Structure 1
Amino acid sequence: MKHNLTIKSKQFGKYQVKGSKYYSFAFPVNDISKLKYHLQNLKIDHKKSSHICYAYRLLVDKQINDFATDAGEPRGSAGIPILNVLKRNKLINTAIFVVRYYGGTNLGIPGLINSYSTAANNVISNINIIKFVKLVDIEFYFEMKYSSLINSIIKKYEAIFIEKFFFNQANYTISIQEKYKSKFIDDIKNITKNEVKIINNSFEKD
């Protein structure tokens, strides 16, 4: 997986040929629910579009799952060209949607393949592509007096806060690079004299 890439944020692109307009959208996605969320929003925002074709590549259980749909276009003319753009750029956990507004001129299958491929390439060419890093979630709680020390360790490992709760104790859920997981847990145990309680450290984020 070390050679795979992903995207950091969403991006938008546009392509037009023979009256047809193609609006392309790239999103970082970690699971199918996120993909469905983006698809639903696009359907709401583009109710008058002719087709919403898309493809994605997701890392699931250490395997890359590919999917592509032509969404009513001739078979193989839309989804696969979009998927091929993802593959050529070695992108995973990424989805590309291309929304087409038909312009009145039939393009034929070769024309459609070129149009969807171009639209997908356009959105990728404008996006921030980064190295894919495997993340895991760790949930733990500790006495409030250790907050500043724990926060400094979180910053040290460039972990990301997912949730924070405070009552009698502090309860944190963070997302961290998998390679740092063991060192991070050792550090917070040492700095709290083993008073920190790890609730769950097995959540993997593909």
Structure 2
Amino acid sequence: MPVTKEFKTIMAEVSGEIVIKGSRFIAHATPVSAQSAAAEFIASISQRFHDATHNCFAWKIGLSDAAVFRFSDAGEPSGTAGRPILQAAETRDLTNLAVVVTRYFGGTKLGTGGLIRAYSAATLAALEQAEIIISYPQITVTLKFAYAFTNAVHQVVEKHGAKILETGFDNGCIYRVRLNASEEAEFYNALQDATGGKMELI
């Protein structure tokens, strides 16, 4: 489900590594906004470390009851890898991210508790490198208005922190604009005021 209010996530991809009893645990985390992006990231890391013993993962998108998440132990004992990765991210109150923890076995078994601690610690080692940001859900709207209102529309766009993605002309100006979803109603009203009610959403 899409996020409908502000949330915490990471700014960019990060990584961290720990070594426990000879086993290397290499964690990579990245922000994602769709399940397809999470799947692509997991596939990319798994291919990059195709010779590893395990590539375990977890991802989460959304908040509270509307959140969607998946995790995998990727051959480790059930419950010892994927869920601890997810829970480690949740201890930082993060969402809209994917994490892959790669393990190269070092010859010594860690046991159930040891694996849980290792996958959690590796995830946190990566997240400690991340810049945590507050993000806001955004929408894209298409506006049509007379050329005479161009300056007025630009002023409204700037005031509301929106971004013009694309411009065109077809019996007037056509703008594709991205803005925070929470600003939609106020943005629309401001545009109507600025254009004397002659702005259209198309």
CA distance in 1, matches of 2:73, 2:140: 35
Matched, 1:166 2:165: no
Paired residue type of 2:68: N
Question: TM-score when scaled to structure 2?
Answer: 0.84
Please name the residue that 1:133 is paired with: 136
Paired residue type of 2:20: V
| Pairing 1:28-177 to 2, within 5 Å after superposition | 28-59=31-62, 63-161=66-164, 163-168=165-170, 169-177=172-180
Report the Cα offset of residue 139 of structure 1: 2.6
Paired residue type of 1:166: G
Question: TM-score when scaled to structure 1?
Answer: 0.82
Paired residue type of 2:132: I
Paired residue type of 1:164: E
**Candidates 171, 185, 188, aligned match of 1:185:** 188
CA distance in 1, matches of 2:73, 2:185: 44
Sort the Cα spacing of 1:149 and 1:20 in 2 relative to 1 into closer, same or farther, 3 A: farther
Report the Cα offset of residue 62 of structure 1: 6.7
Sort the Cα spacing of 1:21 and 1:187 in 2 relative to 1 into closer, same or farther, 3 A: same
Where 2:43 maps in the other structure, the secondary structure is helix
| Alignment RMSD | 2.5
Paired residue type of 1:117: S
Structure 1's consecutive aligned runs of 4 or more residues displaced over 4 angstroms after TM superposition are 1-4
CA distance in 2, matches of 1:36, 1:17: 28
Where 2:28 maps in the other structure, the secondary structure is strand
Matched, 1:194 2:194: no
The structure with the larger Rg is 2
Q: Is the 8 A contact 2:54 2:75 kept in 1?
A: yes
Residue ranges of structure 2 left out of the alignment (5+ in a row): none
Q: Is the 8 A contact 1:57 1:86 kept in 2?
A: no
Sort the Cα spacing of 1:82 and 1:193 in 2 relative to 1 into closer, same or farther, 3 A: same
Paired residue type of 1:70: D
Where 1:16 maps in the other structure, the secondary structure is strand
Percent identical residues = 26
Q: Which moved more, 1:108-117 or 1:142-151?
A: 142-151
CA distance in 2, matches of 1:9, 1:144: 39
**What is the number of residues matched between the two proteins?**
198
Report the Cα offset of residue 78 of structure 1: 0.4
